[in-house]
């Protein structure tokens, strides 16, 4: 791993590990209190607790949602990370849908201030 952006890489990986757990309180600890979440073209969701509720609501549609980070592009000077992802949606019926996507994180200090996700969900259903 290159030292350039190592801290942002580590924070990003820890954030997505938290998102992928079944413990909905695991990922908000990575969010700034005033974080804003944007998922595709939906209305932005402001506030750490509101983001948690939105993500929990989305994940409730599935038995499990997991993210595989395939690449990161880091701009350390701006505190920004571009994340290429493979997202696996496991249905309550046992089926799986796998899609590629991207997210963009903007950090303020150690915490995520802005989280944007773009994933093609048309195959979900």
Distances (CA, A) of 85 to 18, 50, 51, 92: 15, 23, 20, 22
The mean pLDDT value of the chain amounts to 93
pLDDT at residue number 3: 54
Q: What is the pLDDT of residues 12-63, one digit of tens each?
A: 999 999 999 989 899 999 999 999 999 999 999 999 999 999 999 999 999 9
6-120 in CATH: which number?
3.10.450.50
Task: Provide the residue ranges of all domains of the chain, joining segments of one domain with +.
Answer: 6-120
Q: What is the pTM (predicted TM-score) of this model? A: 0.92
- Read off the tokens for 26: 């695991």
- The pLDDT value recorded for residue 76 is 92
């Amino acid at each position: 791993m290159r030292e350039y952006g190592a801290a942002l890489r580590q924070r990003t990986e820890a954030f997505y590990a938290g998102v992928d757990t079944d413990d909905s309180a695991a990922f908000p600890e990575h969010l700034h209190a005033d974080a804003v979440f944007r998922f595709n073209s939906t209305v932005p969701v402001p506030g750490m607790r509101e983001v948690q509720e939105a993500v929990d609501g989305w994940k409730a549609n599935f038995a499990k949602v997991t993210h595989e980070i395939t690449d990161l592009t880091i701009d350390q000077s701006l505190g920004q990370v571009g994340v290429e992802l493979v997202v696996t949606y496991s249905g309550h019926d046992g089926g799986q849908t796998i899609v590629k996507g991207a997210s963009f994180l903007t950090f303020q200090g150690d915490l995520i201030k802005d989280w944007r996700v773009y994933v093609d969900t048309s195959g979900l259903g």
